[in-house]
Amino acid sequence: MLVLGIDTSGYANAIGLVDGERVLADFAFATRNESLARITLNVDNVLRENGLGLEDIGGFGVGLGPGSWTGIRIGVTVGKMLAYGTGKPIKGIATLEALAYEARDVQKLVCPIIGAGAGGAVYAAFYRFQNGEIHHEGDYYVGDIPGLADLITEPVVLVATKVAEYRDAICQRLKSDTIETMEKALSGAVVARLAAAHLEDGRHDDTLALAPLYLKESTARAFVNRYRKQVQATQQG
């Protein structure tokens, strides 16, 4: 099944195309103000380079976040437009799950981390792979690295871009240097592959109802208020 994957939740937009286990394209490009135009242009380029048209695509996968609020909206909107326009199914994939999938051969607990872009905050979650399937454990996390470190109670593998920075801070908090890491960026092909696993079993989302995965407003407000107080304290000092 040909599946096109899109993720625009981070500092780079990712587009991927898979046909079963074959990766036909896995392309990332820097986010800019003309993000919507560049996404549609690059989707077209990926299809043309593989001698395909939208009518050949069997389904779509789209990264739901968490991540850049504006970025996520753009990617989800493009995915929904493509799915609605072609009448093909779509499946939303949590961006942290797509990042965790990069460590699918790891037997330990996996913790993907994405920078939230303000005051050192991060998004994170915990996943475990069992019998080839990925399982999300607990809630999504948003906060600082020390708070995330306090949630780690067993051997873990961190997956992120610039993962060494997170590792150093977590090791310092835990007073341990045994944390393993995997340097990975978001992949459109992974989003497509995870979506394909659902779509091939007939599991898809309602195209019109599909929505980005945002932080709960109360959580976001609490963090912003805390960060503002930290800035004010620094300025007064």
For the stretch 110-152, pLDDT in tens is 999 998 876 788 999 999 998 888 999 999 999 999 999 999 9
Stretch 43-54: mean pLDDT: 96
CATH number at residue 158: 3.30.420.280
Residues 102 and 170 placed together within one structural domain of the fold: yes
In this predicted structure, which of 17-26, 43-52, 146-155, 208-217 has the lowest mean pLDDT? 208-217
**C-alpha to C-alpha distances, 42 to 29, 67, 78, 173, 198, nearest whole angstrom:** 9, 21, 12, 42, 25
Q: What is the pLDDT of residue 218?
A: 41
Q: For residues 128 and 206, is the Cβ–Cβ distance under 8 A?
A: no
Domain ranges, residue 206: 2-95+186-222
pLDDT for position 33: 65
pLDDT computed for residue 116 by the predictor: 84
Taking the C-alpha atoms of residue 125 and residue 147, their distance in angstroms, rounded to an integer, is 12
Q: How far is CA 106 from the centre of its chain?
A: 19
Q: Tell whether 107 and 144 lie within a shared domain.
A: yes
Q: Does residue 132 belong to any structural domain of this protein?
A: yes
Query: What are phi and psi for residue 112, nearest 5 degrees?
Result: -80, 145
Sheet of 90-93, strand order? 22-30, 12-19, 2-7, 59-63, 90-93
Q: Say whether both 8 and 89 belong to one domain.
A: yes
CA angle 77, 212, 159 (to 5 degrees): 115
Asked whether residue 176 is assigned to any structural domain, the reply reads yes
Together in a domain, 12 and 120: no
Residue 64's pLDDT is: 95
Domain count, the chain: 2
Q: Are residues 199 and 88 part of one domain? A: yes
Burial class (CB in 10 A: 0-12, 13-18, 19+), 59: buried
Residues 147, 205 within the same domain: no
What span, in angstroms and rounded, lies between the C-alpha atoms of 184 and 14? Answer: 13
Residues 6+ apart with CB under 8 A from 129: 103, 104, 105, 106, 107, 110, 135
Q: What is the CATH number of the domain that holds 16?
A: 3.30.420.40
Indicate if 74 and 113 belong to the same structural domain.
no
Residue 26 lies in a domain: yes
Residues 88, 52: contact at Cβ < 8 Å? no
Q: Do 170 and 191 belong to one domain?
A: no
Name the pTM for this structure: 0.87
Question: Are 87 and 129 found together in one domain?
Answer: no
